[in-house]
Structure 1
């Protein structure tokens, strides 16, 4: 059995909204239950109200004008305004008003539906307030900010950017805005970068010149960051332009100063491949210039990879011996049993395998310069022989009896603390004084941050030419990474990173994979704590590792690599414990 429909008034009472019906002259004829509940009034009571009793004062003029226009035209109307609740608070409503006509098309009634939109209006107002606050914040930021879509439709430009360009937002939204703003030499690169990246969710940046309202261009670092939807696709891009004009000028000054310095170096044929203009490097070069014309023995100390051999070669080129031989030897790379024969040579039959006479490095360097790298690695026996050469300027070949006189300048280098080695009894004090006539301390690269960019540019250019590549510039993030990284391997590590990156980089802008420079730092003490709980055990662990590495400290198979600690740290512990690492060598 089908239930008959409910009364119309019952249906209207359950509609989610306030419904009123008025006669053509504006007399209130009907209200649904929700109207009575909202206003807390009956139909008779509401008939006595005027418009000012229910409408928010700020909405009165707009509401009255809309109602007059509807009466005059007889057209439906829609209206947003606030009604006062029975508790005195106002809420937003949306009005939909329709005229009801008789058979002669005359308006006899108006039916109005009031829909509560207070939450929506409140949210919209909150959003507008947030936007106003954000606009105030972005306008106060000294950087220029642009907001645009992936198809480059511009939505917003902050006051800083508009003030710089002298344009309005309407000007900025014209199609030729980018062409008007960007320097002609940078325009093609900007358009290509944007075309390639804006449809992908990948932040990027570039350094470009932007035109100011005075017609002059300044350098800016423009960083692009995407706003993504739930699917990870970019729906907005935020571009922040930071003025880097002063930095660019400083870099140009540095390049010019370095160019002048390198020209001076080239003229004197003194400092090939020594790049930089930092104060620590200038101090070293000043020392080189002073000592080079003399015959003084020089001890060059510094960490691995700082360029000690380059300094030694520079001293030789500036010296009176520059036309004669420069003979180098890495003392740490030669087994102790062979080092004497390398330095002084040997006669035929001096030992098994000596099939013919061979001159040593000192004899080959006669009249010129000998450079002994890693001199701190020499055994005590070889130290005695070297001391005699320095004192007497004479020696004998191994297996020979002839006394050979030599005229040679001695340059040495070490990454060890030789004074500490003297205190520990592993290096002769009298030999140290002979070598340390004129000490030069090479600064590590972390103390030459002003030189990092110059070194990078020089090395990139050199290696790019070797592989037939050309890079327009260096990514700013890469430069920041280079300047912040401590470079434990110094210039040599920088050189290796750049050579590798040049081979792998296929873009016109040079960059490196930042993970290459995020190495976990080994903690020797934590390693020791896992294997030992006392000083005696720590000493035993070091000695066991030295035995395993055959007395070698450095290198991929050396004790420092096996323990996962820096070489200098291990050397200091060897000295502290008085360990003779040479007894572990075959």
Structure 2
């Protein structure tokens, strides 16, 4: 029994000692707030002695309570709940006030009720909390005013924070998205495919990998906005991801600007290419050494043509120039262009017979890079080069039938498409066309469209053959002598009458071009200051002594044979018979077949 009493006293002493040594202040007070017990910490924290505290009530050191408030707000609550925890303020003896954290429990002892209250000074904690809150506020302000969308995810992909920029995009509050998986939020709900992709990318970031990609988000107005998105893992000292920072930057306007810039650069490149193409083309034309002054003559037939040129040049009418090979159809086209309102722009020439059938479409209409095998770069077609100018389609009768419909469309609507590009191009081009073919016969054979013929034949001009303007031969001979004398380095002052008579008597199947070739050769073989033709002289001059006058086909056959013998039966190529006669090789071969000319 004595041992039990001793043990009880011993436990009571230990309990009292623990209370006195406790770091927290401990107070016991009754229903009226009178203090019945105070430990050392309570005395130290409040600045009163124990004796002073035992004469005081709670409202004496707690400014939050009056005597009435203590009963109504505090005592009733602690008695009902048993234990309450809260923060308040205490006033020290010196009048200073400091924050405290309080834990009170209701205790029933010897028939009376008491509040056993533990309290601690939390001034330092409040200071740290305030500093932390200020830091968080500053950080939040920085993040929320950041123009990029950003936030914070845990490694599972759940949202811990989102800035205002991100929230404004979807018109949401932060509490609407906190705790949700990043891919299950309104930013991504518009695309299940994108949600699946994002889930995988978050997994990559959680593994410590920096992830970057582009994605489209609709804003609150439903407008699609392109964003540059990154997932940046935050790593601990061991290199393991603890959190993920998602960032998104709206690059819609940047992309539009880039696109506009690329478009502008493409247009500049297109203009540069066009100017380069025009320059190359014009340089080629300059090298051709043709000009309006080369229409030489004063015959009635030529004057009639010149009158037609003056009449039609000032209009935009399509002109079809007809005539045999070598009659000067291209010179007529140049004259029309030079006298037109389009003469500040180039005259673009296309020889429809000289281009391979598989390339003529590309030459006329252009092509994009990669449009066909060998299309290594974009090419501007001749029609596009001729925009606001004139295009001369020589040998139009040889244009492939499949391209005639496209040409008809340009004549009717001024529209076409480049090969490899569906975009329609509109041009303003005057068309001049020329042919030595009988188009009516070609139409009957089904090789030329009748509707295209009518569109081309708005204003037909027929170039007379040289045999129909023999009076112009002396002028032409003089012109060619002057032209080639300088080139060859010889001075020719006279053309014998018998030679001029022979030249005027010849029927000239190759017309002016053949005459030019004969004069050039004559200058080469001439030994003095008089023009010599030599063996090249047609036998027409001896016809006056013959009893039988040969027909024109016979003369033509004999002349072709003589040229073939002179060139060792070489038909085409430089120095060949076709070049000497001023004919195309195919034309010469056709005439050889017609006359039965074969090498023995």
TM-score bracket relative to the smaller structure: 0.3 to 0.5
Larger Rg: 2
